[in-house]
Amino acid sequence: MPVFFRRRYRFIWPALALSFLCGSVGDLLAQTDWKKEWERALQEAKKEGKVVVGIPARAELRKELEAVFKPHFGIDMELLTARGPQNASRIASEYQAGVKYFDAFIGGSGTYESLVYDGMVEPLAPNLILPDVKEEKYWWGGHIWEDNVKTKRFLYSFIADAGTGGFWYNTEVAKPEELRSLDEFLNPKWKGKVGFLDPRTPGSGQSIWSFLWDVKGEGYLRKLVQQDLFVSRDQRQLADALAKGKLAIALGVSFYTLEGFITANLPIKELPKLKEGAPSSNGSGVIGIVKNPPHPNAAKVFVNWLLGKQGQELYVKVMRQSTRRLDVDTKWLQEHGVHAAKDVLTVEEYHRVRNHLEDKYNGVRLPAAKFAEQILN
C-alpha cells in the first residue's frame, strides 16, 4: 500500500473506532436513562398505592385487568366501568368542582376530546417511557394520536379495526340478502324494526350515524328516522330487543354487549359487508391521563403497561378489537368477524376510510351529531 494511503488510514481507523464507541456509549446512556426513569416511576407508584381508571362497560375487562396488573406491579386498581360519555361527564364535573379522582381513561373516538379542549387532559407523550411503547417502529402506522390536527399528543389511538362493526340483525326476522345495502334499511318492511344506539352521544352509534351522514346524506337519515327508528342509550336494551325479534336490525351495539346472547345461540349475527362498505374504527381504543392526576406515577405505569405487548394482548383478547402493535397477533380475530387494519389494509387505505381522529371528529362527527339533535325527539 502506498505511503499516502497508509498514513491516511492511520487517521481514519481511530476516528471510526471513536465514532463507534461514542455511538455505543450514547445508546447505553439512553438505555440507562429510560431504565432509571421506569424504576423511579415504579417506586413512586407503589408509594401512591393505586391507580383509578375509567374503562369501557365490559365486566370481563375489569376482571382481567385486576387479575394481571396488581400482582405484576403491586399497585391497587380502581376501575370504573361505564360508557365513555358517562366517565367523561363525571371527570369533567369533578374537575370543575376541584375534585381529582380519576387518573386515566380508556374509551372511543369522540368521547374525550371535549376534556382536551377544556384543558383537563395531560399530554400523554411525555409519559411514555418503555422503548417498545415510545418508539414508533413497534406500531403499525407509527404513532397515531386521536388529536391529530394540532398534534398536541394528549389522546393515543391504539386500536385500528378495518370495519366499524355495530351492524347486527336477527336471523329469524331478516335475511342477509334482504340487507345488502343501506338503502334496504328504508324498506317499509322494517318500519319499527330498526334500533339505533343514540347518535347524539359519543360512541358506536354516533360513529355509524356520522358514516351514514357522510356517504348517504341528511335526506337518507330523515327517511331512516321516519322508519319509526327505535333510539336508545342503553346497549343492553337494544341487544335484548334484537334477540327477542322486536328489532330486525340494531345499529351501534358493541360486540361485547352482544357476546352473551351470541354464546347462548340466540338468533343474532353481524351483517355481511354492505355495498357502501364501512369506515375503519379505533373501537374503544383511545387512552389518556387526566391533568394533574392524584396518582401520576401509577397512571404512568398503567399507560406504559397497557400499551406494551402484555397489556395489548389482554385488551385484544377481552375486547375483540385490533391493536396496532406489530408484535401482537390479531389474525385470529377474523374467526370472530373482526379484521385488523394492519392485517388487511395499507396505512394509506386506513387513513382514507377511517371515521375517527380529530379531523373526522370535527368535520364529520360533530355536524352529524348536531343534525341528529335536530331531527330526533
Domain count, the chain: 2
What span, in angstroms and rounded, lies between the C-alpha atoms of 352 and 110?
A: 18
C-alpha angle 167/249/256, rounded to 5°?
50
> What is the tens place of the pLDDT at every residue in 329-366?
999 999 887 899 999 999 999 998 888 898 888 899 99
C-alpha cell at 200: 347524539
C-alpha cell at 48: 401512591
Across 128-180, the runs of DSSP E, i.e. the strands, are 156-157, 167-170
Residues in the chain: 377
pLDDT, residue 4, reads 44
Query: Cβ neighbours of residue 230 under 8 Å, at least 6 residues apart?
Result: 192, 194, 195, 196, 238, 241, 247
Strand partners, 254: none
Q: Does any domain span residue 370?
A: no
What span, in angstroms and rounded, lies between the C-alpha atoms of 275 and 179?
A: 10
pTM summary value: 0.81
Please name which of 164, 254, 169 lies closest in space to residue 207, comparing C-alpha atoms: 164
Q: What is the DSSP string of 125-136?
A: GGG--SHHHHSG
Do 73 and 90 fall into the same domain?
yes
Do 209 and 268 fall into the same domain?
yes
Q: Is the sign of the CA dihedral 152, 153, 154, 156 positive or negative? A: positive
Do 334 and 189 fall into the same domain?
no
Mean of per-residue pLDDT scores for the chain = 90
Q: Does any domain span residue 102?
A: yes
Q: Does any domain span residue 359?
A: no
Do 223 and 268 fall into the same domain?
yes
pLDDT, residue 99, reads 93
Do 156 and 287 fall into the same domain?
yes
Whichever domain contains 69, its CATH number is: 3.40.190.10
Coil, strand, or helix at residue 83? coil
What span, in angstroms and rounded, lies between the C-alpha atoms of 320 and 338?
A: 7
Query: In the listed set 231, 246, 278, which residue is the last one of a domain according to the structure?
Result: 278
280 φ, ψ (degrees, to nearest 5): -70, 160
pLDDT exceeds 50 at position 16: no
Query: In the listed set 278, 299, 328, which residue is the last one of a domain according to the structure?
Result: 278
pLDDT, residue 5, reads 42
pLDDT exceeds 80 at position 216: yes
Expressed as residue numbers, the domain containing 207 is 167-278
What span, in angstroms and rounded, lies between the C-alpha atoms of 368 and 214?
A: 8
Stated as kind and residue range, the H or E segment containing 53 is strand 50-55
Coil, strand, or helix at residue 231? strand
pLDDT, residue 167, reads 93
What span, in angstroms and rounded, lies between the C-alpha atoms of 82 and 202?
A: 13
Q: Does any domain span residue 304?
A: yes
Do 311 and 335 fall into the same domain?
yes
pLDDT, residue 273, reads 84
283 φ, ψ (degrees, to nearest 5): 45, -135
Q: Does any domain span residue 61?
A: yes
Q: Does any domain span residue 273?
A: yes
C-alpha cell at 324: 396496532
> What is the tens place of the pLDDT at every residue in 249-295?
999 998 878 888 988 999 999 998 899 888 888 989 999 999 999 99
Q: How large a percentage of the chain has pLDDT more than 70?
A: 91
Is residue 87 a contact partner of residue 284, using CB atoms and an 8 Å limit? no
What span, in angstroms and rounded, lies between the C-alpha atoms of 366 and 360?
A: 9
pLDDT, residue 203, reads 81
Least reliable range by pLDDT among 145-154, 246-255, 316-325: 145-154
Q: Does any domain span residue 38?
A: yes
Please name which of 289, 297, 328 lies closest in space to residue 74, comparing C-alpha atoms: 297
Do 132 and 221 fall into the same domain?
no
> What is the tens place of the pLDDT at every residue in 68-87?
999 999 999 999 999 888 99
Q: Does any domain span residue 320?
A: yes
> What is the tens place of the pLDDT at every residue in 153-178?
899 999 999 987 789 999 999 999 99
What span, in angstroms and rounded, lies between the C-alpha atoms of 240 and 262?
A: 11
Do 50 and 190 fall into the same domain?
no
Do 274 and 288 fall into the same domain?
no
C-alpha cell at 83: 360508557
C-alpha torsion angle, residues 131, 133, 137, 140 (rounded to 10): 170
323 φ, ψ (degrees, to nearest 5): -65, 155
Do 208 and 66 fall into the same domain?
no
Do 145 and 230 fall into the same domain?
no
pLDDT exceeds 60 at position 12: no
Is residue 284 a contact partner of residue 321, using CB atoms and an 8 Å limit? yes
231 φ, ψ (degrees, to nearest 5): -105, 130
What span, in angstroms and rounded, lies between the C-alpha atoms of 229 and 182?
A: 14
Do 131 and 271 fall into the same domain?
no
